[in-house]
Each structure stands twice: as C-alpha cells, then as structure tokens.
Chain A
Amino acid sequence: MNIDNMNNEPIWKSWFARHGAKLLLFARQQSRRPDEAEDLLQEAFVRIWRLYGHTGEVAPGLVYRAIRRLAIDWARSIDRRKAREDKVALDSPLSFSFDRTLEQDERKQALLRAVERLPAEQKEVLTLKIWAELTFDEIARTLDESLNTVASRYRYALQKLKDWVPEEMQGKPQDSSSTAS
C-alpha cells in the first residue's frame, strides 16, 4: 500500500531557516560558554514557538528577548567560581560565528577583531541592529533599555569600529578596556 505524505512543511522550518543563523549568533554572544549557545537557542525557541507558533508567524524579537532572559537566568544559577572560569570562554572569538570564507579578506578580519573588542553592551546592540535587523524600538524592548540608550550604544560602537579597524589592519590594536566607554 502506498501512502503519500502530505506535501506540506512545518512553518517553523522555513522560519528557522530565515532567522536561525542570526539567533544563534546572538545566543553565542549571550551565553557563558560557546557550547551553551545552542541549548540557549533551543530552549528559547521551543518556549516561544509553543506559545505563538500556532499563528504560523512569530516575531523574531520575542525569541531574541527570550534568549537574553534565559541567558540571565542561567548565569544566575551557576556558582561564582564557575562563572569566573566561564568568563574565559565568554571572550572566545566572535569570528567563529561567521562564515570562514571571509578569512581571505584582511579588512573584514580586522573588522571582526574590532567588533570583538567592543564592550558587551555595545556588541549586543550592534548584533541586534546589523545582523538581526531589528529596529531600535525592538532592540530597546529586547534589552529592556530605553530607545536613547540603545541608539547611543549603537553610535558609540560604530564610532569605535571606525577608529579601530585601521589600527587592526596595521596590527596595532590598543587595549580595549582603555578605549571602551
């Protein structure tokens, strides 16, 4: 007996194909350890999709917000000693989250190194604005910050990148802690 499957596809798959890479990038940035990012994304996505997936479309901002809140919850649940150890992993290069073909491009590599030097709060705004393509309003709601704060962080981040990329290209990066504001 030949049973034809319905030629239908769950909507979440196409939704995730569209947003998965950006969400995973944000999860990597928010997680304490690189191997925790997928768990974080899975937990956040499943929770949100169970609540709103029946509508067939879910605002990506909801998942970004869930990722961030879960990351905070998880960070609180681990002890301080472990947190200190994980701080090392937290600073793992962001370049691992991007397409490796850009390794051929010196300027892009320098750009990524400069992004890595950004303070965490500016880096997350930059990530949400550039790669997640959220509006400032959505970013403000995701991060529970004011619109002005996120807009300022974004502008500071871009200004720093503009200054730092030439330094990175010359191989003379300055200490990020002295330049971060």
Chain B
Amino acid sequence: MNEFEKLEAELKELRPLPPSDAFTARLEEALGDAGNVAMRCLPDQEDDTSPNDSIKNIKKKGFSSRLLVFAGLGSLGLAAVWAAIFYLSSSLVPNGSSEQNDPANPLIAESGPTPEVPGVGLLEDPNSPLHGISLKELQDVSVMPVSGWIDPQINQRFLRRVDEGVFDRPGGLPARRVRHYFMDETLWSHPASDLRILSTTPREEVIFIELETY
C-alpha cells in the first residue's frame, strides 16, 4: 500500500463548496446563445426523436389510448373537410363563376363575360371561414363540428443540432453557424365529440456564435 494512500483518501473526503445558484445564473446570462447550442433530452423524453413521437407525446400527456389513432384519423378528417369544400364549391357555385374570380387562371381571360348571378348557396355566413359556405353546410358535409374546439396545444420538439462550421463574417469576428431542427406540433381538441387533430410542421433555427480567439 502506498504510504500516502490514506492521506490522499482523507484529502478526497474534503468536498469543495459548489458554486452558488446566483453565480450559475450569472454564468447562464454570460453564455447567452452559446449555452443553448448543446442540449440533452431529459431521461423521460430521450426517445422523442423516434418515428412514433407524436403518439408517444400524446401518451405522456395522458390522452386515452383509443385516441392514439387520432393522428391518422385527424389527417383523414382534414382531407374530408377539404374534399367537402371542393365539392360544395363546385356544386353550389354557378358554373364558371369561381373560375371567373380567379385572375391567375389564363383561361378565364379568353372566356366571354358571364352574368354575376349568385347562387342560393352563396348567401354569406359571417361566421364561416369560407366564402359562400355556411357553417351548417360545412358541418354537415365534413361531419366535423365547427364550434366547441378548445384552444390548441402547441408543442415544439427539438430534433437535432447540426454544426455547420466556422464562417468569416465581413467586418466582424468569425462565427460558428449552428442549425437547430425542431418539429412544431399543434393539437386541436374538441371535448364534446372527443375529436383531436394533430398538425406537425418542421422548423429550423440558425444560430451564429461569435468566436473569440484566445
């Protein structure tokens, strides 16, 4: 046994005082964006980047399991709404009138003038988000409620970070460019019908970190 081993063990038992919380907060402020470049997922979300993220997130937030298939159904629901809108617009609007209002369509410019006679279905519903289609028609065709939705829940998930290297900036210090990839999720819920619609949108953020040479 080394003659100093006991002494070394005694010294190691002495614990240096940790930095104060105030100092750590000061450090965080001083780091700024550089402190957020490298992130780690906390243990309960380490598997967030798997393909089934949406479903797992919903599970974690306590939604019932039968609603897990909702993500797919929600997409189908949205598709149904748009199909209905298309159907309504083609069936309720008089022939040619919808095209006539579209200045981007080159075919319209060549067609002759058509009298603007509004159809029966074009009665304006001030509460409807779609011109010429009342809320009731929208609800009947889409089989989805148009009112009673609660405020959507928005969740942004950090996916990955890509270091794109150091860039020289004219008239400034060189900077490291780091790109963050996020997935923004929006969940609409309709408690009365137990419907949920989940929308996911990818997003990127680019951060420049000034480099100091030391």
A: residues with CB less than 8 A from B are 1-4, 6-14, 16-17, 20-22, 24-25, 38, 41-42, 45-47, 49-51, 53-56, 66, 97-99, 102, 107-108, 111-112, 115, 126, 130-131, 155, 158-159, 161-162, 165
**Are A98 and B14 closer than 8 Å at their CB atoms?**
yes
Q: Hey, which chain A residues are within 8 Å of B3, CB to CB?
A: 162
**Are B34 and A50 closer than 8 Å at their CB atoms?**
yes
**Are A9 and B39 closer than 8 Å at their CB atoms?**
yes
A10 touching B36 in the complex, CB below 8 Å, given contacts A4-B154, A22-B16, A54-B176: yes
**Are A50 and B210 closer than 8 Å at their CB atoms?**
yes
Determine which of A42, A49, A54, A99 lies in contact with B26 in the assembled complex, contact meaning CB atoms within 8 Å.
A42
List 16 additional A-B contacts (Cβ < 8 Å) besides A10-B38, A131-B14: A2-B153, A3-B155, A3-B156, A6-B158, A7-B42, A7-B44, A8-B158, A10-B39, A24-B17, A50-B34, A53-B31, A55-B38, A97-B17, A102-B15, A108-B13, A131-B11
A14 touching B16 in the complex, CB below 8 Å, given contacts A6-B156, A8-B158, A53-B35: no
- Which 3 residue pairs are nearest across A and B when measured between Cβ atoms? A25-B16, A56-B38, A11-B38
Q: In the docked arrangement, what's the CA distance between A20 and B30, Å?
A: 15
Number of B interface residues in the complex (CB < 8 A): 49
Q: Hey, which chain B residues are within 8 Å of A155, CB to CB?
A: 4
B: residues with CB less than 8 A from A are 3-4, 7-8, 10-19, 23-24, 26-28, 30-31, 34-42, 44-45, 151-158, 161, 163, 176, 178, 209-212, 214
**Are A8 and B26 closer than 8 Å at their CB atoms?**
no
**Are B8 and A158 closer than 8 Å at their CB atoms?**
yes
Q: In the docked arrangement, what's the CA distance between A1 and B15, Å?
A: 46
**Are B16 and A98 closer than 8 Å at their CB atoms?**
yes
A66 touching B38 in the complex, CB below 8 Å, given contacts A99-B17, A108-B13, A111-B10: no
Min CB distance A108 to B, Å, is: 6
A38 — nearest CB in chain B belongs to which residue?
B23
Q: In the docked arrangement, what's the CA distance between A53 and B17, Å?
A: 24
A21 touching B19 in the complex, CB below 8 Å, given contacts A9-B40, A10-B39, A158-B4: yes
**Are B16 and A24 closer than 8 Å at their CB atoms?**
yes
**Are A1 and B151 closer than 8 Å at their CB atoms?**
yes
Q: Hey, which chain B residues are within 8 Å of A55, CB to CB?
A: 38
**Are A161 and B154 closer than 8 Å at their CB atoms?**
no
Q: Hey, which chain B residues are within 8 Å of A158, CB to CB?
A: 4, 7-8
**Are A21 and B16 closer than 8 Å at their CB atoms?**
yes
| Most A Cβ at <10 Å: residue of B8, B14, B19, B214 | B14
Determine which of B8, B18, B34, B155 lies in contact with A46 in the assembled complex, contact meaning CB atoms within 8 Å.
B34
Q: Hey, which chain A residues are within 8 Å of B27, CB to CB?
A: 16, 42, 45-46
Determine which of A3, A4, A47, A130 lies in contact with B214 in the assembled complex, contact meaning CB atoms within 8 Å.
A47
Q: Hey, which chain A residues are within 8 Å of B154, CB to CB?
A: 1-4
Q: In the docked arrangement, what's the CA distance between A6 and B185, Å?
A: 12
Min CB distance B19 to A, Å, is: 5
Min CB distance A115 to B, Å, is: 8
**Are B24 and A20 closer than 8 Å at their CB atoms?**
yes
**Are A2 and B35 closer than 8 Å at their CB atoms?**
no
Q: Hey, which chain B residues are within 8 Å of A131, CB to CB?
A: 11-12, 14, 16
**Are A162 and B37 closer than 8 Å at their CB atoms?**
no
